[in-house]
Chains A and B, each alone.
Chain A
């Protein structure tokens, strides 16, 4: 049984959404971090991780998200999450992510709370 994580990016005005599909283990966490650091290099300082397609995580994958969160804080940026399962949300709470990162029910709530336009750049 293997499950490789795939990632899609939705670039919007003021923030980028990273949509994940699959298991967030060490490889999955590293893939998310790789994509996130690319977006940081493009100038994005607000990133939203939409985990609607990721129902299974492990602590190693989440620890990589903690490193990403630390990087965003260092840059005065924001990392937020949405569409977490109750177990993933509980795990984030146990591991301390929810102290430093906002968690929203869905993308629309995140967009309105983060103050970002939901329109694509140029549209």
Chain B
């Protein structure tokens, strides 16, 4: 599988910037004729990855790095891959496991980001450590 098209974005960790990342992913997927409902799912997954990076990474550069790629054979795009990266200190374990609980120990209301990402795209890879976090999401066309 080869890269047919790609684009890099560097966005500040500011409110609503996740919409910009989601919109770019949506445009790429729509252009490759992904089903519109699946495009919406990808958009939300990208937004959630961006929000996680903004809220949990503690990155001192205040930026989120997004790579958007269309992969497949020549003239036959097969999937959209979106990589969301930060240079922070890594996500806390409860965030990674999706098991955040509130102060009373009841099931969480917050902390749904990674759970949603895993359910909304076809493949997810997450690497999180002291040098930052990389979330790679793939959705078939």
> Residues of A at under 8 Å CB distance from B?
1-3, 23, 25, 55-60, 62-63, 66-67, 85-87, 90-91, 94-95
**With a CB–CB cut-off of 8 A, which chain A residues contact B15?**
2, 25
| Contact residues, B17-57 vs A (CB, 8 A) | 17-20, 22-23, 37, 40-41, 43-44, 47-48, 51
A63:B110 contact, CB within 8 angstroms: yes
B37:A63 contact, CB within 8 angstroms: no
**With a CB–CB cut-off of 8 A, which chain A residues contact B47?**
56, 58
A63:B112 contact, CB within 8 angstroms: yes
Name the residue in B15, B19, B20, B113 with the highest tally of chain A Cβ atoms < 10 Å from its Cβ: B19
B115 within 8 A of A: yes
CA A62 to CA B116, docked complex, whole Å: 12
**With a CB–CB cut-off of 8 A, which chain B residues contact A94?**
112, 115-116, 119
CA A62 to CA B47, docked complex, whole Å: 14
Question: How many residues belonging to B are interface residues under a CB distance threshold of 8 Å?
Answer: 24
Q: Which of B19, B110, B112, B115 has a CB less than 8 Å from the CB of A23?
A: B19
Which residue of chain A has the shortest Cβ distance to B112 in the bound complex?
A: A59
Q: A85-B40, A87-B40, A87-B41 are in contact. Are A62 and B112 (CB under 8 A)?
A: yes
A90:B51 contact, CB within 8 angstroms: no
Q: Which of A3, A55, A58, A66 has a CB less than 8 Å from the CB of B48?
A: A58
CA A62 to CA B44, docked complex, whole Å: 12
A86:B19 contact, CB within 8 angstroms: no
For B103-129 the 0/1 string (1 means CB < 8 A from A) is 000000110110110011000000000
A2:B16 contact, CB within 8 angstroms: yes
Q: Which of A3, A60, A63, A91 has a CB less than 8 Å from the CB of B44?
A: A91
